[in-house]
Amino acid sequence: MARKSIVTKTGDRGETGLLYGGRVSKVDPRTEAYGAVDEAISTLGLARALMTDRSRHAIVLRIQSELFTVGAELATDAQEYENLRKHFALVTEDFTHRLESEIVDLEATVPLPDAFVIPGGTQAAAALDVARAVIRRAERRVVALQLRVSLPNPEVLRYLNRLSDLVFMLARAEEGASTRPVTGRRAARTPAVPTRTRRVPRARARR
């Protein structure tokens, strides 16, 4: 049996197919939203490959799976939502509540920073911080989508909002569990006022 190629050439004119809802432009707000979620899945994969803690590794793997569910919802036209409901799982309150519970658990054991964190304490933590930033962008894309068209399930936005908080805490946990010293620095909330340098008077030219 001949193997089917992944090259379809159907997107050569700048369009792509939704899961349910026909074809749209590759810069359609819906495509931008689930595309950002796809990026988040990949960046979380990089972070997971660098993590050694088995419990946090499992959390990230589960999150990646849940984000595929988020992507399926975003890749469905609102008028086709019932078709999605018949064949796929949906994002529910349980998804968000589980994230909140894991945040509470991490807050009980991981000291919260008292200032902005400069990423780079460890490789895994840095990768998680990249993933957090991508998740924030995905959240913004979903908000833009919600403003332009109907978003049938508001839990999608709540989930993404809570997810970035969890990934932030996972990054801090990875820094704290490292056997190497953390090289990242915390930036002060109020930058110090730079000291003014005294102007050196110019020497007067002799006449």
* Model confidence pLDDT, tens digit, residues 36-52: 999 999 999 999 999 99
Phi, psi at 17, each rounded to 5° = -95, 130
Angle in degrees, 0-180, between the axes of helices 93-109 and 155-177, rounded to the nearest 10: 20
Question: Looking at the domain assignment, is residue 205 inside a domain?
Answer: no
Q: Which contiguous run of DSSP H or E holds residue 23?
A: strand 23-25
Question: Looking at the domain assignment, is residue 116 inside a domain?
Answer: yes
- Cα radius of gyration rounded to whole Å, the chain: 23
Question: What pLDDT sits at residue 179?
Answer: 39
Instruction: Indicate if the pLDDT at residue 171 is higher than 70.
Output: yes
Question: Looking at the domain assignment, is residue 195 inside a domain?
Answer: no
Query: Average pLDDT of 6-30?
Result: 71
Residues 156, 91 contacting (CB under 8 angstroms): yes
Question: Looking at the domain assignment, is residue 8 inside a domain?
Answer: no
Instruction: Indicate if the pLDDT at residue 140 is higher than 90.
Output: yes
Count of structural domains, the chain: 1
Give the pLDDT confidence of 179-202 residue by residue, as tens digits: 344 445 555 555 555 555 555 556
Residues 57, 4 contacting (CB under 8 angstroms): no
- Residue 45 belongs to domain spanning: 15-187
Question: What pLDDT sits at residue 112?
Answer: 80
Question: What pLDDT sits at residue 148?
Answer: 87
Q: Please state the pTM of the whole predicted model.
A: 0.79
CA distance 70 to 152: 12
Question: Looking at the domain assignment, is residue 157 inside a domain?
Answer: yes
In this structure, which amino acid lies at residue 134?
Answer: V
Question: Looking at the domain assignment, is residue 180 inside a domain?
Answer: yes
Question: Looking at the domain assignment, is residue 91 inside a domain?
Answer: yes
Q: Pick the more confident residue, 28 or 125.
A: 125
Question: Looking at the domain assignment, is residue 71 inside a domain?
Answer: yes
Instruction: Indicate if the pLDDT at residue 29 is higher than 50.
Output: yes
CATH classification at residue 66: 1.20.1200.10
Instruction: Indicate if the pLDDT at residue 177 is higher than 50.
Output: no
